[in-house]
């Protein structure tokens, strides 16, 4: 694992930690700072996954690994698009509602928000499709790699398939809004475990 790849994987881990921070928000932050963290998550995770892909390719290339990398880049492009669209729509309409001259205008603007907000939900489902496919492909690669094995591979496939099926079953609403569960944080934790294992193995090889 080259120094460059280590830096890229570290950035990806930072992106995952940022995702978990935004998801649970253990500390209240100013709105603009929280938005900046959210908008950087996609590019950071994408950088990490590309670096991860390159490091795995050095140990052996395959079509499954190539698909994992392609799906990851597509997924987090949609993720960034989803967040920017979501927040721009909500913040603009929030200001319009606050500046409205009367209650009737405010109610009209609330109806407009309810009508246009599902656009970002559709983009979010597109992200879910590609990120789950990428995770499945990466998990299949890990299942055949020493140091990861069937346990890591199988758990990744199960989490990704469950996440995908829950999103498709509750479409057009997100699983959490439909009374189900959001497995996104669990998928992020799985990736953090994979990164820790990968870095540990890289250090063992460098000392050998």
- Give residue 2's pLDDT band: very low, low, confident or very high (50, 70, 90): low
Half-sphere exposure of 97 (CA within 13 A, CB side): 15
Alpha-carbon gap, residue 139 to 160, rounded angstroms:
9
Reported as a single tens digit per residue, the pLDDT across 132-165 is 999 999 999 988 887 788 889 999 999 999 999 9
pLDDT of residue 1: 55
Q: Domain segments of the chain: what residues? A: 3-79+124-207
Alpha-carbon gap, residue 125 to 82, rounded angstroms:
9
Reported as a single tens digit per residue, the pLDDT across 101-136 is 899 999 999 999 888 888 988 999 999 999 999 999
Q: 60 is written with which tokens?
A: 């052996």
Contacts 24+ apart (CB under 8 A), 160-163: 160/132, 160/133, 160/135, 160/136, 160/187, 161/132, 161/136, 163/128, 163/132, 163/187
Q: 141 is written with which tokens?
A: 């690669």
């Amino acid at each position: 694992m080259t120094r460059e790849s280590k830096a890229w994987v570290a950035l990806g881990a930072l992106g995952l930690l940022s995702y978990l921070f935004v998801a649970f928000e253990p500390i209240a932050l100013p709105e603009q700072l929280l938005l900046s963290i959210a908008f950087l998550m996609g590019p950071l995770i994408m950088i990490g996954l590309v670096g991860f892909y390159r490091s795995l390719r050095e140990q052996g290339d395959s079509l499954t690994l190539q698909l994992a990398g392609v799906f990851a880049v597509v997924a987090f492009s949609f993720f960034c698009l989803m967040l920017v669209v979501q927040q721009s729509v909500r913040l603009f309409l929030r200001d319009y509602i606050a500046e409205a001259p009367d209650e009737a205008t405010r109610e009209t603007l609330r109806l407009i928000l309810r009508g246009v907000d599902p656009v970002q939900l559709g983009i979010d489902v597109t992200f879910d499709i590609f990120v789950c496919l990428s995770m499945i492909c990466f998990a299949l690669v890990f299942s055949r790699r020493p140091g990861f094995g069937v346990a890591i591979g199988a758990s990744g496939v199960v989490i990704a398939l469950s996440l995908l099926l829950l999103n498709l079953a509750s479409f057009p609403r997100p699983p959490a809004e439909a009374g189900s569960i959001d497995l996104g944080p669990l998928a992020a934790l799985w990736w953090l475990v994979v990164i820790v294992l990968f870095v540990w193995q890289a250090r063992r090889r460098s000392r050998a």
